[in-house]
Structures are given as structure tokens and as C-alpha cells.
Structure 1
Amino acid sequence: MTPRPPSNGPDPKKAAAKKATAKKGAGKKSSAKKNSTKRNSLKKASAKKTSAADQKAARETVTADTGTESTTPIATPTSAPISAPAPAPAPAPAPEIAISPALDAMDRDRLLHGTHHAPHSVLGAHPVPGGVAFRVFRPFALGVTVVTDGSTTELHDDGDGFFSGLLPLPDVPEYRLLVAYDGTVQDTEDAYRFLPALGDLDLHLIGEGRHEQLWQALGAEPMTHQGVTGTRFTVWAPNAQGVRVAGTFNFWDGTGAPMRSLGATGVWELFMPGIGEGELYKFEITRPDGSKTLRADPMARRTEVPPATSSIVTASHHEWDDAEWLAGRTEVPSHEAPFSVYEIHLASWRPGLTYRQLAEQLPAYVKDLGFTHVELMPVAEHPFGGSWGYQVTGFYAPTARLGTPDDFKFLVDALHQAGIGVLMDWVPAHFPRDDWALAEFDGRPLYEHEDPLRAAHPDWGTLEFDFGRREVRNFLVANAVYWCEEFHIDGLRVDAVASMLYLDYSREPGQWTPNEHGGRENLDAVAFLQEMNATVYRRVPGVVTIAEESTAWDGVTRPTDTGGLGFGFKWNMGWMHDSLDYMTHDPVHRRHHHGEMTFSMVYAYSENYVLPISHDEVVHGKRSLVSKMPGDWWQQRANLRAYLAFMWAHPGKQLLFMGQEFAQGAEWSETHGPDWWLLDPAYGAEADHRGVRDLVRDLNTVYRHTPSLWQLDTTPAGFQWVTGDAAEDNVFAFLRYDTDGSPLLAVSNFSPVVRHDYRLGVPDDTPAWHETLNTDTAVYGGSDVTNPDPIKPEPTAWHGRAASIRLTLPPLAAVWLRPA
């Protein structure tokens, strides 16, 4: 007797037919409709008695038309006596049933409304019972076809831009998509078949707020991922319900480009194959309340030219040629080296010039004048040119007004090759409220403080950063590193430090809350500045950071390990205000303000100082530097020349804003820049404006070659008063020393009279003194009262010294003398 299969097992002939059908259809197109037709035809197979061959086929793996495999035990002959009952066969498991590949209603709704946090989990190709489900979301597409190893399968149109299909495949294959639109077919990779293009270490560092090269993890990064070229988009938006990428590549409709959330870090990611440099993009963010906002990338490394606001996918191709400069800048600390700075607003220095055109003119001009550094007013992208760059929206992008990021690198490279350091204004204190930028970026306060009183800057209508949030600190610290590492910037002048340090800055009582100790210090900002300085100095040897800090905060330039803020220099705002106030008075009244010129030496060594005559002093009705001076035109220029020489000799480094080097009479305006026509000889510039410019050149030349003017700038041993109390004469005289003890004698006469045989005490070990620089010489436009011959000391005690010399002091002038 031949045993039969159990009544609840599969029909062997039907199983064999299914197996044959599956093998035959593996290399052909399949669709949901064809699969349905196969299932209907197989149901009509007759259930006949099995033969021995049928039993053998039934023992083999049964492959259903869905592509899944199952094994069913078949009863076999037994050798037991006929009288013994055969063992009861075990029940066979039910064969797997193919599922519908279409998305369920909830996933469809979340994708359509931009609130899906894990689109890769439902889109793309996924193994399912019955084979591999393909799901594609392409709004406005007429059809989608999957191409696998030469075979093509048209997906079912599920409506609303969704397409799906179930292919009888054992594993997810390599595949591409053919997406048909009206009049065109796009052959493309499926963005939802890729693993995350951001590593676990990156996510860990972002979560810790310690990713020092954050720009390499967030933003738009052209790359090759899993063998495919494209761009990885990443953005930090922890409060968002969903984030999508919109750009020129999808006609600014991000519906079909949802990003995935990478967990608790708040980072969203999407690798988009085929997207390369030059594409414009933004992030479409679904806020917690369900509304949507289109935002520029906070980490964008290139932007459109304002007023356009899109971010641009970019990669650098600049090849640097400044290795010699970078190696040399670490040889001597900045506070022990010559440091003379020319401050520039790039867009108006020569209006209309691009970065590359500036590279042809600016290095030669600055080198001719002898400045060691340029300081660029903010270069980072900003929407309103009238802010001069101090209201930044693109912290990682050089302004597109003058060219590309590589064009800016070309300018920095050219300056370095000319032997000129590059400082840059950096603005981490605040940012504007533009609704396409950082303000409430993902629907809630994110970069700004959640407390409205802490967030709103009372003076500028902007928002202050939340320095207590680790991700925000990371954003800013990495930004400081970014400019130094990627653009070879030699130093950062940090704007508005005082507004960061004090909780009550420009706030009335009741508008601020004390810190945990009951004080007014912003402890979060202190910690941020310390971290920024420590990180920059550690990562980028040879750079310097400079604080614009206008209060008496203790330890701005003290190292962080001793409780200081860690800056390299601090702007000496007290010296600037006091000295300019003195100079604005008529000489007859200056004796009443004499202390304003000497008070700076009371605190000169409390910090490492830069003496700044910056753009802030020559705008908004303050008048240009020469126009601040009293008297007629000759006296104004004479006062200016004397003041500049006093400044260059005073302990501390120097900074002078463009246009002041040739006595521009008008205030600076960003719309037209310096009045270069004043240097034209046709306007009498030889004796007037060119004379002042020639003096600045000579001040820098003598300065750079005289270590006593800079080597001990931050040490009391480098300075001695000769006379600081000659108020009735309007005279100041002091000695500067270098490490070898070599002196320079600086004498300033801020009265309009010639003082003959003016006696000054000097060291008695110097045989003679030689006039090195005199601001009254005719070549500078002065009256040419000079001391042409060597001046020998006399054994007459004066000013507490055993020897003295007698000088002729020219009117409204300064004289520098060195040992002959």
C-alpha cells in the first residue's frame, strides 16, 4: 500500500508547478497584477492521488509564487509489520502568505505631511514575507520602474506619489530607479537604499558638544557613499517633527526628500545620490505645532549673493601655497613680535573688487605701508550690508558678495605670500532674527536662550546665543576652529565680548536674573570663551585671539588654566577714549586733560593690549581721525601726525582703520569707502594726504626694525617715563627698551609752539642720540623743525637721571631718538 500525503499538506503537483513557475519568472518583469494572475491559475490545479515521483517532489523545498520558501514534511513508507499502526504525521506549518507592499495609511500620511522621523524604514527595498518590497515616494511622477541586474519591473501607482511592488527575490538586490515624469525619464539611484553617511563617533561627539570639526559632520558634504557619488545633508533640529531637503534638484519641493532622525542627538540625515556642487538647497522643517518653515543651512559653507538666501553645495579645490608663512608664524609669540594692523572693510576698500581682484592690489598696498597684519571686518555671510557684517546669518560661509569660498582662500593665500598676517572679526555674541536663518530654527528657541529676557539683545534688536547649551557652544567653538583651519586665518578679533560677559549688559533692573552665585557675570559665556580660546590655541599653533572688551573684567588675556578667559590680546578701549578726548581739545586747554594721556600706563601691563583706532571711531557723526583734531587744516594734520607717532611708541600693538593712513577728511561709509582721489597730486596731496601716508609707512618701517618698540610690550621693564607731568608744556617723554636694554626715546609736543633747548633726562651710558623720526619734517607736510645733528648728553642731572640732553621740539609733533 502506497501511503498518501496528509490531507492538510500541500498538493505535490501544485508545489512542483509553483516551483517551476517561480524559477521561470525570476528573470522576467513582474507586477502586482501578474502575481495575482499566477495565484488564480495555480488555484485551478487538480488535487490528484500522488505517485512515488510526486512524493519525492513534495519532500523538496516548496517555493510559492511569492518567492518565499517553506518545507513541508511528507509521510514515508515504514518497515514495521502491517499489524502495527503507522505513526501519526506531524501537522505541517502553514505556507507564508505574501503581504501587500503598499505603505499603510499612517506612514503615507506622515510622509505627505513631513512628519516621518524614519523614512528609510518604509521607503526603499525591504525583505518581507513573499519577497522584497519596493516602495518609492516620488510626487508628480507618472511611473516608477525598478531595474535589477538587467531586469525591469514597473511598480504599482498607489496614488499621491507613492509606488510599490513585491518582487519574488530572496534578498535585496542592487537596483536603480527609472522615474517617469511628463516628457522625461530620470535614471537615478534610490536615496532610501543607503545606510547613514554619518558615523557613530560623529554622533557621539555631537551629542557631547565636543565635535571640533563640526563642519565635516553637519551641513552639505559632497562625497562618495557606498560606491555612489552624491551629497550628504545633515542638520541639527532636535525639536522638529520632520525635516526634508528642498532645492534646485527637486524644484524646491522637499516632499519627496524626507530626512531620517539619527536618534537622541537631534541630527537629521539624508544622502542624496547624484547631487553635486553648485546645487541650491534649504531645509524644510516641520515645527512641533505642525507648521512648516524653510531654513538656510546653519552650517552652509557657501551661500547665494544677498538678498538671496539659499545655501549652496560646495567643496574646496584651492591648493595652498603659504606653507612657509604658516611655519614661520609659530616662531615668536605675537605679544613679543611686531604687530601693526591695518583694519579693512573688504567690500568698500576698493568698491566693486572681488576677492581675487583684491588679491592683486591689497597685499602690495599693505606691504608698501609696512603693516604686519590686516584685520578684516566680518567676512561671514550677512543679509544686510549696512551691518558691515556684524549681524551674521551664515557663520561658516564667506560672503558671496565678493566671490566663492575658494576665492577668499586665494586672497588669504596672496596676503600670506606677501608676508602679511590675516586677522578676521568674529561675531559669536548675537545673530539676527531673519525667519529663514537661526531664529527659532526648528520651531522653538534653539540657538538662542529659551528665556526671552536672556535671548533678546537690548541694543541691536538681535538674539543672543545660548552659551549654556553644549550643542550651541560646539557650533561656535568649531566655527572659530573652522576659519583658522580651513581658511588659514591667523587670528580672530572677537566682537562685543563685554555684551557676552554681563547678564545686565544694557539691561535695567528687573530685566535680568542673577547667576547661581547672585552675581551679574554670565558664567555660561565665560565657560564658552575659555573653551573657544583653549581649543583654538591647541589646534592651530601660531594663531592669536583678540577681545573687544570695554570693561575692567579681570584676566581677559590670562591663561584659562589660571582662571582667565585665555585671549592673546585685548583692545585697549580706555586708552582709545582717553587719548582721543585729549586730542580733540584745543592745545591751550590740554594742560587740564594731561592725565588722559598718562593714565593708560597705570594699567598698561594688566593685559596684553592692542591700541585701536578702528572703524567705530570714524562713523556715525564721530568724524574721521583728522577731523577730530582742532585748529586749521595744517594744525589738524600736524596733530594727527603727532598722535600717530605717540600711538606707535606707546606700549601695546597698533590698529588703524583704512583711510586714516592718508588723513581722509570724511567719515567712512560702506557705500563708497576711502576717498582715494585725495592721493592724486592734482589735489595737492603731495604735502597733505600723501605726507600723512608716507609718515605711516615710516612709522611702520622704524617700528618693525626697532625691537624696543615691541619686544617688551607686555612687561614693565620695557617702559620708563622721562617726564609724564609736563602738563603746562603739553609734553610727554618716555623710554622704550628691548631685551638687550637698547633704548628708544619718544618725545611728543602737543602744543603749537617750538620749544628750544628743551631739557630731558636720559641714561648716562649713551654717548649720543640720533633723531630717527620727526613728524614735523617737510616730506610729511610739517614745518621742518628738526634736530639734524647727533645730540650728546650733558652731565646735568634732570628728571632723576645723572645725564640730560637739550632738544628742539617742533610744534604739534613727535620725535623719536635712538643711541647714535
Structure 2
Amino acid sequence: MALRETSLPEPSGPALSGAAPPMDDGDRERLLSGRHHDPHALLGAHPVPGGIAFRTLRPYARAVSVVIGRKRHRLTSEGDGLFSGVLPLKSIPRRYKLAVAYEDGEHQTADPYRFLPALGELDLHLIAEGRHEQLWKALGAEPMTHEGVAGTRFTVWAPNAQGVRVAGEFTCWDGTALPMRSLGSSGVWELFVPGIGEGARYKFEITSRYGHRFLKADPMARCAEVPPDTASIVHASHHQWGDAEWMAHRGDVPVHEAPFSVYEVHLPSWRPGLTYRQLAEELPSYVRDLGFTHVEFMPVAQHPFAGSWGYQVTGFYAPTSRLGTPDDFKYLVDALHQAGIGVIVDWVPAHFPKDDWALARFDGDPLYEPGDARRAEHPDWGTYEFDYARTEVRNFLVANATYWCEEFHVDGLRVDAVASMLYLDYSRDSGQWEPNVFGGREDLAAADFLREMNATVYRRNPGVVTIAEESTAWDGVTRPTDSGGLGFGLKWNMGWMHDSLQYMSKEPVHRKYHHNEMTFSMVYAYSENYVLPISHDEVVHGKQALVSKMPGDWWQRRADHRAYLGFMWAHPGKQLLFMGQEFAQGAEWSEAHGPEWWLLDSDYVAEADHRGVRDLVRDLNHLYRRTPALWQRDTDPAGFRWVLGDAAEDNVFAFLRFAADGGPLLAVSNFSPVVRHEYTLGVPDDVPVWREVLNTDAGCYGGGDVVNADDLKPEDGRITLTLPPLATVWLAPLV
């Protein structure tokens, strides 16, 4: 298959009378072997004594003619697919075409080697400086009209390559005919190919400095084939956004002072088989009904192995093609925004897989990964780490972060595995790493990269939040960059998650010995801006689903599950809950079949058990959103006060949350399986009457319906109430 624009009759007319000057043997050999840095100096049209010389490289062609206006002039074969000749002209024609005859007919196209570079000097300067914040508009495959001709500009960064060529379905995956030119010292290779447009599949054929030749997918591809196929696809967006109101107001309130309740979703398995557009018909209404403010998608970037859940990315600029096109993904984000739901995407700049067609040793040498094999290898995942000290690699990642925010309107990035980036000795034994210049274990380049990424994302995208999955005591993860912090907006509170689940897994009779595991989080609660995560990581690989972590029989497990959610939603910090846990599915999550929706079917004998938990999550979210005390002062110590933090013998916890105006909410959790009658608690003097506004033991949730039906009036600064077993109760002032 050849480059084609229009089909023409058989060539006619004489060959050009003048012979083109012979090509230097060295140039010829390098051109044919894909090792020439400047093919435009050899191919195309050039002034020579006696006129203009035309030369083209068309392997497998029977004949090639130059078409100028209505006249055709046949070129002479030089062998090896080279055709040339001289036309007695005073200047290079402004426009000419090549008519190329193959076995299947003759095809006409503009000459790729008559065009000036389609990439500007400013782009090259910014790339060299590592400051091209819209790198995706400079590198990759860009459909465009260049010098009046429609086609696609191909650009790629491969500084160690001897030569780079474009190969695709339009060349039968042979790059011989389309060598690219090197643009100076930038390491960028460029070629404008006329007649190639959206939907074309392509790769880059790279010849390394060692003479090895191989095909690589485009690191900047915005669309890719459905795995296991690996080609990149030329793409241009045509989506018309309808979320202007959402985008204009999403940053009106800082995220740490706003309600923020997240439903974590693995898109391919939420409803297996649904495309992005089909998900847009179901997911927004489901999430809105349950009252979550945001969804968080596990990585949607292109990844070859579905079992990695998206955490081994090969196409950082392309949404996974398994569910549709990039515009289809935009349609889903748009639908969620129009439903009033924010979108957070998991982002994975910590590592990338070693697939030989992707980023690994991209131009034959370590490029995106460090040259030191000890630093390049990620010991846990069999992948490569990024070289955060390299200017162009840092630019690739920083631009990628803002790309998802700008092109796909996402409202946040949850950055995966931050701890593995920050420490040189992460999962490494002595001798497998080298200290930094100060003798420490911190990866200073990675920390600088994260600061740059956060600063850039926040500056360019008002209203966006970045969230760190960081499990250590690194100081200042959510402190602003101008104060020496990493600059994240929020951080997953892995300590709270670990400690609280440890407590909940104990039989109630033993919980008094672990009481501090539920209170310790308040020792450091205001050191960072936290999210409380019950994520996918906690319900797989033998860790059991949330309800199955709880001890006792099925009733007790569900009761504990509900009580825990009530405690979690009242605790300082934002919330995140993984799909399936909102209705207490008992089995671990599997990407193969997703949530067990059948548990909610009306013909399932225990469907009320699961519907009750889902109803509780709905009420928790809606009440949470209406109660500023639960989110307005999440990062302010004045927004929290223990009422009862040392009742270990009772397995009871009670605390107050306060809104900015002082309005309180009282949360009380009884993690013992007995009813505690006439339980007294101290309360603020300025609240005359308290009313129970939520009780996880309510009958409508599947509980025993031990509730406080009557309003509670303090006496001597104390109220007396009934605490249901394995339950959390919320009390608010009677308005």
C-alpha cells in the first residue's frame, strides 16, 4: 500500500532530459538504511546547474513522474527505489506533485520533502528548556494544513537515534520512503506527510546509534489501537464541550474547605462491556443519586495488560482505546460535569513497563529511564522508573499532567506511588542505591519534579486538585511549593486507613486493647490535608472486601460496616470509597467481572441487606453535603473536639465537628455489640436541643432500629442517649 491522494491514469510524457547530480555514496547508504539526519537535503527539489533537480525515494514503485500544473515529467530510476531528474526551470515550483505508479495503479501525492519544517523555533526552544507546557501540540502526530496542503506533521524526540522514519499502514509498515529530519540539537525529528489524516495507524522506525532498527509507538500519541495491537493512531478532537458552567465555578471554593466525597471506579469493570458513551448514560445518574461529589477513575491512560488495572502505562497521552475514542472519553467527562460531578483521574508518573515497542530504551539507549540500571529498575513491579533529572523527561510528565486537565477537563489527578518516587532506597537493599549529593536517601530530582508539576497544574488549571498517594512521613506533601512543600492539594491518609481497619478487624471483646488505633489519627490530622481512602487496594489480593474484614456473623459484619462508614464520614478529612463497598459486597473485587450487582436484585434473598447499606451511603453523602461542620474546617484544628476519646472499655468514641460559624455536629460510635442505655456525654452549652439526624442501626438500613426518637435536651452540659450496638449516631442542633 502506498501514500495516496487520488488515482490517476498511467504516466505519460518523456523523462526529464537532464540527469540529476549523483548522490554521494555515503549519503545514499545512510538514506537507504534509515540513518540519515537530513533527508530533505537529498530528496525533494533543489537548484542545480541547468535547472531544478527532483529526487524521490519510492520503494516498489514502477515509475515516478513530477506533475507541475497539467504537465507530467517522468523521473529516471536510480535503483533501490530512488528516482530523479532535472527540469530546466529557474526556480522550484511553488507546488508540484508526484505521480507514483505501483502494481495496483498510479497514485498522486504532494512531495513530503518540498515543505519547510512544520514545527517552529519557539517550540524547539521550549522543548530544549524543558518548559513546553503544551508539549502535545508540538510532538506526536498533528493533522494540519501546512503550506496550503492537508496532511499530518509527525514529530518525535529521539536524541540518540542515527535516523528516524515514519512507518504505518499507509507504507505497509515499511518506513523506507519517509525518513524524518533532525531539527538541530533538540533531539526532535520532524516530517510533514501530505494526504495522511485522522485514523491513520503509524509508528516510528528508529535506527539506534548501534545500528539496530525497530518500531516504536509514539510516546505522544493521543489515540492508540485496542490491545494487543500496539500502533498509534492519528487523532484530532471534534468534541463540543457542554460543561462551561461547571468549569467556570469548580474553583469557587478551595477543595479543602468544600465537600469532597469520592466514588472510586475501575471503568472497564464497573459495568463490564460498556463503552465510554454507554457509561455516560448510567454512571452520572448512579453517582448523583448516591450523593458523591466526585468520581475517581483508576488509570485511563493506554495500557497493554488489562490485569494491571491501568497502572502500567504505555500511552501517557491516550485514553485506553478498549472503551472508545478520546472524544468518547471526553463525552463521559462532560456528562459527569453536567450532572454536577467532578472527575479525578489516577496518574502514574512513577514507572512504565518494559515493552519493547513503547518507552523502554526508546531510541536504543536509556532515554525516559535513568542510565544507571540500579536506578532505572523498579524492584517491585518489574518496570522502569522515569529519569526525573532529565529536562525533557520532566517536561514530558509535567505537560502530561496538564494535558489531562486541559484537553479532558478533569478536575483532579491522584498521583500513584509517590513514596516510590521520593526515596532512592525504596524497596532497595544496601548497595542497590546511591545517596544524593547531601548523603541522604531522598530523590531530590523527583521532589523537584513533583513541585514543578503541582505548580504548573495549579497555575494553568484553576479549580483542579492534585492528590498524593504517599504513605510515609515526608514533610510538607500538601504544603505550597513556595513554602518548601511538594504542593499537592490533598494526601491519602494511609495511616488512618491501616489503623482503623486493624481496629475493625478485631472481635469487639478485644477492641479495647486497640482503642488508640482509632484515636491516633487525630494526633497528626492537621499535618497535611487528608483524604480517608477505602480504595481498590484494600479489597483485593486476599485483603477481603470491606464488610468481610469485619468479625462475627453476617448481621454483625454489616452492622460494623455501616458503623465504620458513619465514623469515616464524620472524621476530619475527605472520603473515598471503592465501587462495590457502597452496598457491602462480600467478595473481593475482580477486574474480570466487577461489582456484584446481582446482590441488589429484588429476587435475591438478602437483597435488603445490601440495599440498606447503599441507602446508608446515600444518606451519609447527602447529609454530609448539607452539613458544613463535616467539611468546612477539615484542615483547621478548631473544627474538631473530642467529647469522649478514652472510653476503651466501652468501645465508644464521641467527637464534635464545627463549621466556620461554629455550628456543631456530634458523632458517636459504639463499636461493641451491646446496647448502651442512658449513656451520657458532654455537649456545648449553647445548644438547647439535640436531634438524631443519622443512625446506622436504623431499620431502613438493615439494623436493629435502636434509635433516639425523642429530642435530647442537655442537663448540666450533658445529654443522655441510647447507643445502639455496632453503630454510629450523628446528632445535630434542633433548628
Q: TM-score range with shorter-chain normalisation?
A: over 0.9
Match of 1:738 among 659, 663, 669: 659
User: For 1:254, what is the secondary structure of its paired residue?
Assistant: coil
**Is 1:154 the equivalent of 2:68?**
no
Q: Is the 8 A contact 1:102 1:163 kept in 2?
A: no
| Distance (whole Å) between structure 1 residues aligned to residue 106 and residue 344 of structure 2 | 51
Q: Letter of the aligned partner of 1:111 in structure 2?
A: L
Q: Is the 8 A contact 2:655 2:668 kept in 1?
A: yes
1:286-685 matches, cutoff 5 A: 286-685=207-606
Q: Letter of the aligned partner of 2:319 in structure 1?
A: P
Aligned match of 1:250: 171
| Distance (whole Å) between structure 1 residues aligned to residue 402 and residue 418 of structure 2 | 18
Aligned match of 2:723: 809
TM-aligned CA deviation for residue 764 of structure 1 = 1.1
| Distance (whole Å) between structure 2 residues aligned to residue 304 and residue 169 of structure 1 | 46
User: For 2:667, what is the secondary structure of its paired residue?
Assistant: strand
Aligned match of 1:789: 710
TM-aligned CA deviation for residue 30 of structure 1 = 5.8
Q: Letter of the aligned partner of 1:316 in structure 2?
A: S
TM-aligned CA deviation for residue 31 of structure 1 = 3.6
TM-aligned CA deviation for residue 681 of structure 1 = 2.1
User: For 1:299, what is the secondary structure of its paired residue?
Assistant: coil
The structure with the largest alpha-carbon Rg is 1
Q: Is the 8 A contact 2:262 2:295 kept in 1?
A: yes
Aligned match of 1:118: 38
TM superposition score normalised by structure 1: 0.87
**Is 1:166 the equivalent of 2:80?**
no
TM-aligned CA deviation for residue 101 of structure 1 = 3.1
Aligned match of 2:58: 138
Q: Letter of the aligned partner of 1:301 in structure 2?
A: R
Aligned match of 2:680: 759
Q: Is the 8 A contact 1:425 1:493 kept in 2?
A: yes
| Distance (whole Å) between structure 1 residues aligned to residue 521 and residue 487 of structure 2 | 22
Q: Is the 8 A contact 2:20 2:54 kept in 1?
A: no
TM-aligned CA deviation for residue 685 of structure 1 = 4.0
Aligned match of 1:74: none
Question: Which structure carries more relative contact order (alpha carbon 8 Å, separation 6+)?
Answer: 2
User: For 2:512, what is the secondary structure of its paired residue?
Assistant: helix
The one-character-per-residue Cα deviations of 1:338-357 (angstroms, maximum 9, x if unpaired) are 00000000000000000000
Aligned match of 1:43: none
Aligned match of 1:768: 689
Match of 1:208 among 115, 129, 132: 129
TM superposition score normalised by structure 2: 0.98
User: For 2:608, what is the secondary structure of its paired residue?
Assistant: coil
Aligned match of 2:621: 700
Instruction: Point out 4+ residue stretches in structure 1 off by more than 4 angstroms.
Output: none
Aligned match of 1:23: none
TM-aligned CA deviation for residue 674 of structure 1 = 0.3
Q: Is the 8 A contact 2:206 2:363 kept in 1?
A: yes
Q: Is the 8 A contact 2:599 2:607 kept in 1?
A: no
Q: Letter of the aligned partner of 1:308 in structure 2?
A: D
> What is the number of equivalent residue pairs in this alignment?
722
**Is 1:277 the equivalent of 2:198?**
yes
Q: Is the 8 A contact 2:600 2:608 kept in 1?
A: no
**Is 1:818 the equivalent of 2:732?**
yes
User: For 1:431, what is the secondary structure of its paired residue?
Assistant: coil
Aligned match of 1:779: 700
TM-aligned CA deviation for residue 149 of structure 1 = 2.6
**RMSD of aligned alpha carbons:** 0.9
Q: Letter of the aligned partner of 2:718 in structure 1?
A: S
Q: Letter of the aligned partner of 2:86 in structure 1?
A: L
TM-aligned CA deviation for residue 166 of structure 1 = 0.8
Q: Letter of the aligned partner of 1:220 in structure 2?
A: A
| Distance (whole Å) between structure 1 residues aligned to residue 396 and residue 544 of structure 2 | 38
| Distance (whole Å) between structure 1 residues aligned to residue 282 and residue 258 of structure 2 | 26
**Is 1:227 the equivalent of 2:141?**
no
Aligned match of 1:48: none
| Distance (whole Å) between structure 2 residues aligned to residue 553 and residue 111 of structure 1 | 52
Q: Is the 8 A contact 1:102 1:165 kept in 2?
A: no
| Distance (whole Å) between structure 1 residues aligned to residue 42 and residue 13 of structure 2 | 23
Aligned match of 2:3: none
TM-aligned CA deviation for residue 29 of structure 1 = 5.9
The one-character-per-residue Cα deviations of 1:395-420 (angstroms, maximum 9, x if unpaired) are 00000000000000000000000000
| Distance (whole Å) between structure 1 residues aligned to residue 505 and residue 159 of structure 2 | 54
TM-aligned CA deviation for residue 103 of structure 1 = 2.3
| Distance (whole Å) between structure 1 residues aligned to residue 602 and residue 642 of structure 2 | 41
| Distance (whole Å) between structure 2 residues aligned to residue 106 and residue 287 of structure 1 | 18
Q: Letter of the aligned partner of 1:110 in structure 2?
A: R
TM-aligned CA deviation for residue 386 of structure 1 = 0.3
Q: Which runs of 5+ in 1 are unaligned?
A: 1-27, 36-98, 796-802
User: For 2:466, what is the secondary structure of its paired residue?
Assistant: strand
User: For 1:814, what is the secondary structure of its paired residue?
Assistant: strand
TM-aligned CA deviation for residue 630 of structure 1 = 0.3
User: For 2:280, what is the secondary structure of its paired residue?
Assistant: helix
| Distance (whole Å) between structure 1 residues aligned to residue 77 and residue 248 of structure 2 | 63
TM-aligned CA deviation for residue 680 of structure 1 = 1.0
Q: Is the 8 A contact 2:629 2:658 kept in 1?
A: yes
Q: Is the 8 A contact 1:197 1:232 kept in 2?
A: yes
TM-aligned CA deviation for residue 120 of structure 1 = 0.4
Q: Letter of the aligned partner of 2:685 in structure 1?
A: D
The one-character-per-residue Cα deviations of 1:93-140 (angstroms, maximum 9, x if unpaired) are xxxxxx743423222211110001000011000001111000011000
Aligned match of 1:54: none
Instruction: Return 410-419 or 684-693, whichever deviates more.
Output: 684-693
Q: Letter of the aligned partner of 1:108 in structure 2?
A: R
| Distance (whole Å) between structure 2 residues aligned to residue 330 and residue 424 of structure 1 | 17
Aligned match of 2:23: 103
TM-aligned CA deviation for residue 705 of structure 1 = 0.1
| Distance (whole Å) between structure 2 residues aligned to residue 187 and residue 100 of structure 1 | 22
Q: Is the 8 A contact 1:642 1:748 kept in 2?
A: yes
TM-aligned CA deviation for residue 569 of structure 1 = 0.1
Aligned match of 1:91: none
| Distance (whole Å) between structure 2 residues aligned to residue 685 and residue 648 of structure 1 | 26
Name the % identity: 76
Q: Letter of the aligned partner of 2:391 in structure 1?
A: R
User: For 2:378, what is the secondary structure of its paired residue?
Assistant: coil
TM-aligned CA deviation for residue 624 of structure 1 = 0.3
Q: Letter of the aligned partner of 1:114 in structure 2?
A: G
Q: Which runs of 5+ in 2 are unaligned?
A: 1-11
